[in-house]
């Protein structure tokens, strides 16, 4: 299978042959020499550096050591989001695109309540399931300061390279602009919760 994939991607294969196997550029300096030039050993090293269990004591240790900004990603419980505001500079609601637990609820379901609990000023970032400009507008209107998306750009990149990624950006921008025009929002700041009418089937979760 590997040889077949290499055969149908000659430019990538040639680049790899000339430059070597892609590396974790940001992690090479931390390697203890345990990887040996193959992707499996590199992935193993990266995995070994990840914290398996995160609690508030560990987060406090990080806070004590690092005086710069900290963003905590992966929050899916209102109480955790509220508590995290004492440790970090921004909270990031995410179920990691559903790839960790595919039955996890959407972060959008807890966003309105999180915003209500943490107040209007604390920065909230959200991702997972935002694939269109309309999706982005929902996240902004329900309380997020930033809406992140990844898969649409990956699809565009895989299809057309840099042009594909830029094309996805233009699509999302045009869709969001269209939504704003339809509701007479002159800028992003005018995308407020008042613009959203939640149906009975939209279940705002508190997971308490």
pLDDT digits (tens, 9 = 90+) for 168-202: 999 999 999 999 999 889 999 888 877 676 666 55
**Maximum mean pLDDT: which of 29-43, 98-112, 185-199:** 98-112
Per-residue pLDDT at 208 = 40
pLDDT of residue 33: 61
CA angle 171, 172, 175 (to 5 degrees): 85
Please tell me which residue, 30 or 73, carries the higher pLDDT value. Answer: 73
> Per DSSP, what are the bridge partners of residue 124?
91
- Checking if the pLDDT of 44 tops 70, the result is yes
pLDDT of residue 43 exceeding 80 = no
pTM, entire model: 0.79
- Name the band, by pLDDT with cuts 50, 70 and 90, for residue 207: very low
Say yes or no to pLDDT of 89 above 90: yes
Residue 145: left if φ>0, alpha if ψ -120 to 50, beta else—which one?
alpha
Higher pLDDT, 6 or 28: 6
Give all strands of the β-sheet with 71-75 in edge-to-edge order. Answer: 71-75, 90-93, 124-126, 146-147
| Contact between residue 42 and residue 35 where contact means Cβ atoms under 8 Å apart | yes
CB contact set of 61 (below 8 Å; sequence gap of 6+): none
Mean of per-residue pLDDT scores for the chain = 86
- Provide the H-helix boundaries in 20-150: 39-48, 56-65, 78-84, 111-118, 133-141
pLDDT at 35: 59
Whose CA is closest to 70, among 84, 56, 83? 84
| Chain centre to alpha carbon of residue 208 | 24
Active site residues: 96
- Report the share of the chain in percent with pLDDT over 70: 85
Separation of alpha carbons 126 and 180, rounded Å: 20
Q: What residues does 92 pair with on adjacent strands?
A: 73, 125
pLDDT at 198: 65
| Residue-level pLDDT at 34 | 59
The 10s digit of each residue's pLDDT in 115-156 is 999 999 999 999 999 999 999 999 999 999 999 999 999 999
Mean pLDDT, rounded, for 49-65: 87
Please give the Cα distance from 153 to 35 (Å, whole number): 30
Q: Which of 101, 193, 93 is nearest to 147 (CA)?
A: 93
Q: Which domains does the chain have, with CATH numbers?
A: 2-48 (no CATH), 56-195 (3.20.20.70)
Closest CA to 128 of 75, 79, 84: 75
**What is the pLDDT confidence band of residue 99, given thresholds at 50, 70 and 90?**
confident
Please tell me whether residue 156 adopts helix, strand or coil conformation: helix
CB 50 within 8 A of CB 44: no
């Amino acid at each position: 299978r590997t040889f077949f994939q290499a055969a149908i991607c000659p430019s990538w294969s040639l680049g790899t042959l000339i430059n070597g196997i892609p590396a974790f550029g940001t992690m090479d300096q931390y390697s203890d020499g345990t990887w040996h030039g193959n992707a499996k050993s590199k992935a193993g090293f990266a995995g070994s550096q990840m914290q398996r269990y995160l609690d508030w004591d560990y987060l406090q240790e990080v806070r004590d050591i690092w005086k710069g900004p900290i963003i905590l990603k992966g929050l899916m419980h209102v109480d955790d989001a509220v508590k995290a505001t004492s440790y970090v500079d921004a909270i990031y609601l995410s179920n990691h695109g559903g790839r960790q637990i595919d039955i996890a609820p959407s972060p959008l379901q807890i966003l309105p309540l999180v915003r209500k609990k943490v107040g209007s000023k604390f920065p909230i970032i959200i991702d997972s399931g935002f694939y269109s400009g309309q999706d982005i507008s929902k996240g902004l209107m329900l309380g997020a300061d930033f809406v992140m998306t990844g898969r649409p750009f990956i699809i565009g990149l895989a299809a057309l390279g840099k042009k594909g990624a830029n094309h996805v950006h233009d699509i999302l921008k045009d869709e969001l602009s269209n939504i704003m025009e339809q509701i007479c929002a002159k800028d992003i700041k005018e995308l407020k919760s008042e613009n959203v009418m939640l149906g009975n089937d939209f279940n705002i979760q508190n997971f308490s």
